[in-house]
Amino acid sequence: MAEMSPLRRRMIEDMTIRNLSPATQQSYVHAVSKFSRYFGRSPDRLGLEDVRAYQVHLVSKGISWASLNQVVCALRFDAENPGRFAPTSWWSGGDSNLMLLAMRS
């Protein structure tokens, strides 16, 4: 089995500290992993425009609202934790919520 990356270890530790359920942890790790694989780069090398492009991709593939929301929550959790992908301040402006709501309608 491959060794866990420091970024993934940190994310799991942060989710454990915040008392997220094992199922939520697994879902978030999977969502961030798929996001990273889609771009072929580590999450710490991805930013807001990448999140938006990924959301557009998922919507074009017919993802359900509930699944899209879960991915956004996972990416938000990942971005809000220190040492995670670049730059974390983009969540504070609420742009992600507006983008998600616009995609919902």
- Domain residue extents for the chain: 6-104
- In this prediction, residue 83 carries a pLDDT of 55
Provide the 8-state DSSP code for 86. Answer: S
- Which one, of 21, 46, 49, 23, lies nearest residue 33 by Cα? 46
Averaged in consecutive runs of 10 residues, what is the pLDDT profile of the chain (105 residues)? 80 92 95 95 88 95 95 87 50 46 41
- In this prediction, residue 5 carries a pLDDT of 84
pTM, to two decimals: 0.75
CATH architecture of 6-104: Orthogonal Bundle (1.10)
Q: Contact at 8 Å (CB) between 35 and 43?
A: yes
Q: Contact at 8 Å (CB) between 46 and 85?
A: yes
